[in-house]
Amino acid sequence: MASVAFLLKQVEKLLGEDIGKVQDFLFLSRLLWYICGLALVPGRKTVRRMQKHLPDAPTDRHGIERVLKNPPSFAPGFLRLMGRRRLAAVLEKKRHRRVSIIIDTTNQEHTGKEIEGAFLFKDNSTNGYILGHRTVVCIALVGKTIVPLGCRLFIRKEDAPKLGTPYRSQIDLAEDLIQELPPFPLGNQVEVLADSFFFCKQLVKLCRSKEYHFTSRAKTNQTITGPGPGRRTTIGKKMKKLFARRQAKPVTTRVRRRTRTFLTARRLHTFRGMGLVNVVYSRERGKKHKPVALVTTDLNATPEQVIQATGRRWAIELFFRSCKQDLGMGHYQGRHWEGVDQHLQLVLIAHLLLSYAGSQVQPDVGKSTTGDSLSGLHELRAGRTQLQQALVADLLAGANTPGEARATVKRHVAMVFGT
pLDDT in tens, 15-33: 887 777 676 666 777 778 7
Spatial contact of 117 and 86, defined as CB atoms under 8 Å apart: no
Spatial contact of 294 and 308, defined as CB atoms under 8 Å apart: no
Residue type, 100: S
Where is pLDDT greater, at 327 or 166?
A: 166
Helix (H) or strand (E) holding 416: helix 402-417
Count CB-CB contacts under 10 A for residue 377. Answer: 21
HSE of 73 in the Cβ direction (CA atoms, 13 Å)?
Answer: 1
Q: Any bridge partners for residue 275, and if so which?
A: 271
Q: Please tell me the least confidently modeled range out of 101-110, 266-275, 290-299, 354-363.
A: 354-363
Residue 278 predicted with pLDDT over 60: yes
Relative orientation angle of helices 2-15 and 337-361, to the nearest 10 degrees: 80
- In angstroms and rounded to an integer, the radius of gyration of the C-alpha atoms of the chain is 23
Residue 361 predicted with pLDDT over 90: no
* Angle (nearest 5°) at CA 157 between 155 and 158: 105
Spatial contact of 355 and 383, defined as CB atoms under 8 Å apart: yes
Q: Within a domain: residue 344?
A: yes
Q: Within a domain: residue 7?
A: yes
Q: Average pLDDT, stretch 69-77?
A: 72
Q: Average pLDDT, stretch 105-116?
A: 83
Q: Please tell me the least confidently modeled range out of 86-100, 128-142, 167-181, 341-355.
A: 86-100
Sign of CA pseudo-dihedral 283, 284, 285, 290: negative
Spatial contact of 54 and 103, defined as CB atoms under 8 Å apart: no
Spatial contact of 244 and 334, defined as CB atoms under 8 Å apart: no
Q: Within a domain: residue 280?
A: no
- 11 CB contacts (<8 Å, ≥6 apart)? 19, 22, 28, 32, 82, 353
HSE of 348 in the Cβ direction (CA atoms, 13 Å)?
Answer: 30
Containing structural domain, residue 357:
1-194+337-419
Strand ranges in 49-94 using DSSP code E only, listed in sequence order: none
Residue 415 predicted with pLDDT over 90: no
Spatial contact of 365 and 359, defined as CB atoms under 8 Å apart: no
Convert 313-350 to b/e letters by CB count within 10 Å (16 or more is b): bbbbebbbebbbebbbbbbbbbbbbbbbbbbbbbbbbb
Q: How far is the C-alpha of 359 from the C-alpha of 379, rounded, in Å?
A: 5
Q: How far is the C-alpha of 103 from the C-alpha of 121, rounded, in Å?
A: 20
pLDDT for 370 equals 47
pLDDT for 371 equals 47
Sign of CA pseudo-dihedral 203, 204, 206, 207: positive
Spatial contact of 345 and 151, defined as CB atoms under 8 Å apart: yes
Where is pLDDT greater, at 390 or 135?
A: 135
Count CB-CB contacts under 10 A for residue 236. Answer: 16
Q: Which of 129-143, 217-231, 327-341 has the highest mean pLDDT?
A: 129-143
Q: Is the peptide bond before 183 cis (omega within 30 degrees of 0)?
A: no
- 363 CB contacts (<8 Å, ≥6 apart)? none
Residue 377 predicted with pLDDT over 90: no
Per-residue pLDDT band for 372 (boundaries 50, 70, 90) equals very low
Helix (H) or strand (E) holding 411: helix 402-417
Q: Within a domain: residue 119?
A: yes
Q: Within a domain: residue 305?
A: no
Task: Give the chain's domain count.
Answer: 1
Q: How far is the C-alpha of 154 from the C-alpha of 258, rounded, in Å?
A: 35
Count CB-CB contacts under 10 A for residue 368. Answer: 13
CA distances from residue 134 to 42, 121, 148, 199, 344 in whole angstroms, order as listed: 20, 9, 17, 19, 11
Per-residue pLDDT band for 365 (boundaries 50, 70, 90) equals very low
Spatial contact of 38 and 347, defined as CB atoms under 8 Å apart: yes
- CA–chain centroid gap for 364, Å, is 19
Q: Please tell me the least confidently modeled range out of 153-162, 213-222, 245-254, 375-384.
A: 375-384
pLDDT for 419 equals 35
Q: What is the mean pLDDT of the chain?
A: 82
Closest CA to 359 of 130, 177, 94: 94
Q: Any bridge partners for residue 237, and if so which?
A: none
Residue 362 predicted with pLDDT over 80: no
